[in-house]
Amino acid sequence: MNHLQQYLVDEFVEDYQEGLISRRQALKKIAGITGLVVATQLLAACGDPAKPATATSAPNPTTAPTATTAVATESTPTTASTGGSVPNSVAENDPAIKAAMVEFAGGDGQLMAYLAQPVGDGAFPVVLVCHENRGLTPHIQDVARRVAKAGYVGLALDLLSREGGTASITDADSVPGLLSGAPPERHVADFKAGVEYLKTQAFADTSKIGMVGFCFGGGVTWLVAAGMPELKAAVPFYGPPVPSSEIPKINAPVLAIYAEEDDRITSTVAEVEAAMQQNNKVYRKEIYPGVNHAFHNDTGQRYNAEAAQAAWAETLAWFKQYLV
């Protein structure tokens, strides 16, 4: 298995152990990656799952996230206060933006993406958006609109375009297997194709490109940072990092977002930080206290409004600093 496949298998085992998904769901998701025999063996070794988890409580607002900067000294933006159940959400009919699905050539076929842009004249910096292992969901489309509302062109690719697109897949449990069955290089190539498409659009300033991704998409964001030298800023949310041998290829300043209770991913911080420092990369980590993996997804079981809003404020501040 490649590192993205291992990441997904570990995630589904953990979700099963914590009672977030049923044994049937876990078996199906894992079998799509490893095959049925290995999936059955993995779950048999888990024992009985915990009772279904409830939503994570909000962290103490007086507790600041942990921040570390490598190489360059970065200022820490002030985090915003919580306001509403989904404080950062942007409606499809928001008059400040326009958004729609688009299609463009992607090497061996047509690719689909959700494109959101500010209303008005001018060329706007670009922020690529990478979805989780669920594919291009309405939540990720909302994230692209949030990007546009902040003054950027948001392009959220559907990495299942060759499989007909996320919306065409009726069995949601099969999506992780389809995503991880594609070589990681394909995902990087698809985002490069997205940039080539935007180069033909007058409203996009492709000399200023950033990227944000979540969970599986956080891992893809690390991959794109190592595979796209022109990337100016990257914000992976709790995704598996690239192997240390790939870090010298990263040019973009990286803001890595983590959850304190997400031991599976947060345990990689020390190694990543050391490798970034050794290779003179601009890097900062934010570890949000009292929350778990996927805390930013307002449609998920682990959503935490306060941490999500704070992390989004940090994300936009990072783009504001480097996409200039």
Is pLDDT above 60 for 77?
no
Do 5 and 73 fall within a single domain?
Answer: no
The residue type at 41: Q
**Is 58 part of any domain?**
no
Do 82 and 44 fall within a single domain?
Answer: no
Do 80 and 227 fall within a single domain?
Answer: yes
Do 306 and 203 fall within a single domain?
Answer: yes
In terms of residue numbers, what domain contains 104?
65-322
- Per-residue pLDDT at 90: 96
**Number of compact structural domains in the chain:** 2
Q: What is the pLDDT of residues 228-264, one digit of tens each?
A: 999 999 999 999 999 989 999 999 999 999 999 999 9
Exposure class string for 302-323: b at 16+ Cβ within 10 A, else e: bbbbbbbbbbbbbbbbbbbebb
- Per-residue pLDDT at 220: 98
Do 274 and 136 fall within a single domain?
Answer: yes
- Per-residue pLDDT at 221: 98
CATH code at 97? 3.40.50.1820
Indicate left, alpha or beta for 2 from its phi (over 0: left) and psi (-120 to 50: alpha).
Answer: beta
- Per-residue pLDDT at 69: 41
Q: How far apart are the first and last CA of the chain?
A: 39
Give the least confident one: 35-49, 127-141, 206-220. 35-49
Do 93 and 130 fall within a single domain?
Answer: yes
- Per-residue pLDDT at 21: 85
Do 286 and 141 fall within a single domain?
Answer: yes
**Is 59 part of any domain?**
no
Contact 212, 143 (CB under 8 A): yes
3-class DSSP assignment, residue 181:
helix
Burial of 267 (0-12, 13-18, 19+ CB in 10 A): exposed
Average pLDDT over all residues of the chain? 88
